[in-house]
Copies of this chain bind each other. A is one copy, B any other.
Amino acid sequence: MRTLQKIDYSSETEQLAKFAKALGHPVRLVILKHLSTQSCCYTGDLVEILPLAQSTISQHLKELKDAGLIQGEVNPPKIRYCIDKENWDKAKHMFAELFKEDFNKISCC
């Protein structure tokens, strides 16, 4: 009995939720952190870092890619992943916007 009504949120909200969801798993955060320290790009020998099956890691990479946070560049037979700068920036700004309110000024609670 799921989803009787199809709610439509602003595309803003939809987009931010998508980013947040992609960031909502520790493995994916580790991957992103790795990508950011590893001067830039990197390929899937995350398999050596993480105690997970290759297929599982591939799936997480796919999710990050679908969310637009990373991009893969074929470099046969490997694939180089790197942060998708444009969307990363977008996410950065959207989160900054979300958190911009300073609730210290507010009276109650």
In this complex, the interface size class of chain A, counting residues with CB under 8 Å from chain B, is 35 or more
CB neighbours (8 Å) of A108 from chain B are: 39-41, 80, 82
Q: Are A7 and B73 in contact (CB under 8 A)?
A: no
Bound Cα distance A80, B107 (Å): 14
Contact A82 to B96, CB < 8 A, known contacts A5-B51, A29-B16: no
Q: Are B5 and A36 in contact (CB under 8 A)?
A: no
Bound Cα distance A88, B109 (Å): 14
A106 at the binding interface (Cβ < 8 Å): yes
A92 at the binding interface (Cβ < 8 Å): yes
Q: Are A99 and B103 in contact (CB under 8 A)?
A: no
Least CB distance, A79 to chain B, in whole angstroms = 12
Identify the closest chain B residue to A36 (Cβ).
B101
A91 at the binding interface (Cβ < 8 Å): yes
CB neighbours (8 Å) of A83 from chain B are: 103, 109
